[in-house]
Structure 1
Amino acid sequence: MLSTTLQCLAIVCTSLSAGGIFVFPLLVSAFIEHLGLTQSQLSTIALAGMAGQYPFSSLVGILSDRCGPRFCSLLAALMFFAAFGLSALEISSAPEHSERSNTAVSQRLTVYFAMAGLATVLSYFSFVFSATKTFTRYFTLASGLTMSLFGLSPLFLSYLGSNFFSDPTTGTLDVTRFLQFLAAFAGVAHLFGACALTVPSTPATTSPSDTTDIPDERSRLIEREISSECTTGTDPRDKSTLELLRDLNFWILALYMVMILGACEMIMSNVGTIVLSLPSELVQTVAIKDDQSAAFQVKILSIANTVSRLLIGPFADFASPVFSYEHLQGFTTVRKHHISRIVFLSGASSLLALTCSWMAFGAQTRHDVWLLSVGTGITYGSVFTVLPGVSCSIWGMQNLARNFGILTYSPFVGTTLYSYLYALIVERHSPKGTACQGRICWESTFIFCLGTSLAALAMSAILWRNWSGRT
């Protein structure tokens, strides 16, 4: 009982401390003013943190299966401590109010945030699989709650940053102290996880009731053949990696993820500069502070992301239960199947299209950006919530982790493309030596995102038709 309590506490601590890369918008103002970094350099650093989660996701999954969540948590602790600690040292040692961008500093910060991105995926695999492999009777609930806690991490960390590491009069964030806190908090939390995150070991013995089902040399041949066929996996959906890559529908789904998740992660990384580019609205004749505006958007993104996972996950399980396969029964579901899970992908692309339309044609002040944060958070959380179920229904359970790992390379590609598109457009409209101001900084970016969101909607309709009755 004590070990289970410690494990649950470790899951909470590691998941809440793992979202440091998502509070990057809080750091943007200081990076511009203190280090003199350009928009392209800021986008590169943010991209390194976001994209650093993906290149090694398949390898981290294998590492988690073979070495367990404790080892992943230990590696995450070391990398979080080094990444945020070195970033704090970099900023504290830089000269005050640099007049020109320092290429060497931006390159080192890019490396540090890439390390933080890798630490994030190590952390994610450690607490999610520790929970799901321990509480197998509540698999969906365990995974949903841990993912939701992870989604709350940026909100929790931004709250701490705004309330304990900011000047109470000006609202300016003390970036050095905040990064030092992130290094200590994430490092200690994941060291605790390295001690407490466990998974049950396979029992060495079987009960007498179980031994009756184990075939031996006296069992009838037909029974042994059926038992062997059922346990070795005869699901016709199981495919090799090569067969998976030959599936046209796989590439349609991957391109959908490039367009939707790539755009979402670009927005999540750059919402701070989007807010700063717009004029403040006066509230009781007091202008909203830059850091407070960025922190507010991070909080909204985190809340929307978390709430969407908590609500859409259970609803999808009820309305669109995942198809399982059994040798004697074929494809079955635990409950009646009402709608296709592709409906949720279509809804996510439609919502992102509406969000981009608002930014392209409606938003005028910083107060208007909250709709962007809400739409982006819901879209991002919804897609990641239903994606494992879609993958399991189409390609089976046996290679689910491998298939999901391959699919996660799509947002890595999308984040890279969309982030540099955003940076190039901002750079084009930035006066030399000053930050870009006004809607012109990102208006064409959101028009482009609107077009790709509508294209993704069309792709989801194609998948809906091709996978009719299977998702």
Structure 2
Amino acid sequence: MYSRFFPKPALAYTLVCALAGALISDTIYAYPLFGPRLSSQLGYTKLEANVVAAAGNVGLFLSEPLLGALTDQYGPRYSALSGALLLFCSFAGLAALYVGQLFTTSFVMAVSLLLLLGIGTAAVQEAAFTSVARNFPPSVRGTMLGLLYMFFSLSGLFYSGISARWFASSQSEDRTYDFLRVLALITGFGTLAATTGLKWHSWAADEDVDVTKATGTA
């Protein structure tokens, strides 16, 4: 099994980093965990709260084509590094906005930070998907991409578990600020660590990793 899917150990490490990046970066689905309290704390109307919530998806989907082109030009590592920076700044900014450290409760500021969040998520997605798609041979590429999609889908569950276990807020205690700071650290430094394996292996691209020879099958 190992030799079939991972003819070289570096390929296994790339997959692990791509899966880790997928799990921690798809933070759009984490918005319901802090969004309602954020809107309430800052006094946003229902319309403003909905626009803020939608801003993350807008940033994600509108930036995908451009980030895809940049990834093709400069490689996945630079995209992932950019995503790590944007995710960290976005959550750190939301935490500061929540407690008034930005000296404003501006609805426009919240929208801007969520746009950055969406763009950062898209950057890491592009890095993860291209690292897997370009490195794995056609015989297992679909399996690896399916695994990657699964980890992106599990991101919301991952953050829900963290929130429920350590940052559940109550009427007497609000842990939203702490949760946002932890999100900044996880997404920023976690993605930064994942960049060590997000790359295109020249031998994989040139040789297409002959899996039949690697497994000794006909």
Q: Is the Cα–Cα contact under 8 Å of residues 135 and 204 in structure 2 kept in the other structure?
A: no
1:147 deviates by 1.0
Corresponding residue for residue 17 of structure 2: 10
Corresponding residue for residue 161 of structure 2: 159
Q: 5+ unaligned residues in a row in structure 1: which ranges?
A: 95-101, 207-471
1:154 partner amino acid: G
Does residue 88 in structure 1 map to residue 89 in structure 2? Answer: no
Corresponding residue for residue 150 of structure 2: 148
Q: Is the Cα–Cα contact under 8 Å of residues 15 and 127 in structure 1 kept in the other structure?
A: yes
Corresponding residue for residue 72 of structure 2: 65
**Counterpart pick for 1:37 among 39, 44, 47:** 44
Mean Cα deviation higher: 23-32 or 174-183: 23-32
Corresponding residue for residue 122 of structure 2: 121
Q: Is the Cα–Cα contact under 8 Å of residues 162 and 171 in structure 1 kept in the other structure?
A: no
1:24 deviates by 1.4
SS of residue in 2 equivalent to 1:81: helix
Q: Is the Cα–Cα contact under 8 Å of residues 136 and 204 in structure 2 kept in the other structure?
A: no
**What is the alpha-carbon distance in structure 2 between the residues aligned to residue 30 and residue 84 of structure 1?**
14
Kindly report which structure 2 residues correspond to 1:422-461, keeping only aligned pairs within 5 A, or say none.
none
Higher helix share: 2
2:46 partner amino acid: Q
**Counterpart pick for 1:23 among 12, 27, 30:** 30
Q: Is the Cα–Cα contact under 8 Å of residues 69 and 126 in structure 1 kept in the other structure?
A: yes
Q: Deviations over 1:271-328 (max 9, x none)?
A: xxxxxxxxxxxxxxxxxxxxxxxxxxxxxxxxxxxxxxxxxxxxxxxxxxxxxxxxxx
Corresponding residue for residue 189 of structure 2: 188
Q: Is the Cα–Cα contact under 8 Å of residues 42 and 98 in structure 2 kept in the other structure?
A: yes
Does residue 51 in structure 1 map to residue 52 in structure 2? Answer: no
TM-score scaled by length of structure 1: 0.39
Q: Is the Cα–Cα contact under 8 Å of residues 53 and 117 in structure 1 kept in the other structure?
A: yes
Structure having greater relative contact order (Cα 8 Å, sep ≥ 6): 2
Aligned CA distance change for structure 1 residues 201 and 31 (closer, same or farther; 3 Å): same
Q: Is the Cα–Cα contact under 8 Å of residues 60 and 122 in structure 1 kept in the other structure?
A: yes
Corresponding residue for residue 5 of structure 2: none
**What is the alpha-carbon distance in structure 2 between the residues aligned to residue 205 and residue 77 of structure 1?**
29
SS of residue in 2 equivalent to 1:53: helix
**What is the alpha-carbon distance in structure 2 between the residues aligned to residue 176 and residue 62 of structure 1?**
35
1:129 deviates by 1.4
Aligned CA distance change for structure 1 residues 173 and 152 (closer, same or farther; 3 Å): farther
Aligned CA distance change for structure 1 residues 37 and 103 (closer, same or farther; 3 Å): farther
**What is the alpha-carbon distance in structure 2 between the residues aligned to residue 172 and residue 147 of structure 1?**
36
Kindly report which structure 2 residues correspond to 1:291-330, keeping only aligned pairs within 5 A, or say none.
none
SS of residue in 2 equivalent to 1:198: coil
1:72 deviates by 0.7
Corresponding residue for residue 82 of structure 2: 75
Kindly report which structure 2 residues correspond to 1:258-297, keeping only aligned pairs within 5 A, or say none.
none
Aligned CA distance change for structure 1 residues 68 and 173 (closer, same or farther; 3 Å): farther
**What is the alpha-carbon distance in structure 2 between the residues aligned to residue 70 and residue 159 of structure 1?**
29
Q: Is the Cα–Cα contact under 8 Å of residues 97 and 104 in structure 2 kept in the other structure?
A: no
**What is the alpha-carbon distance in structure 2 between the residues aligned to residue 141 and residue 205 of structure 1?**
21
**What is the alpha-carbon distance in structure 2 between the residues aligned to residue 134 and residue 47 of structure 1?**
34
Corresponding residue for residue 286 of structure 1: none
**What is the alpha-carbon distance in structure 1 between the residues aligned to residue 67 and residue 133 of structure 2?**
16
Computing the radius of gyration from Cα coordinates, the structure with the larger value is 1
Corresponding residue for residue 106 of structure 1: 107
Q: Is the Cα–Cα contact under 8 Å of residues 41 and 106 in structure 1 kept in the other structure?
A: yes
1:204 deviates by 10
**What is the alpha-carbon distance in structure 1 between the residues aligned to residue 206 and residue 67 of structure 2?**
30
1:193 deviates by 2.4
1:200 deviates by 2.1
Q: 5+ unaligned residues in a row in structure 2: which ranges?
A: 1-7, 208-218
**What is the alpha-carbon distance in structure 1 between the residues aligned to residue 172 and residue 104 of structure 2?**
28
SS of residue in 1 equivalent to 2:62: coil
TM-score scaled by length of structure 2: 0.82
1:187 partner amino acid: G
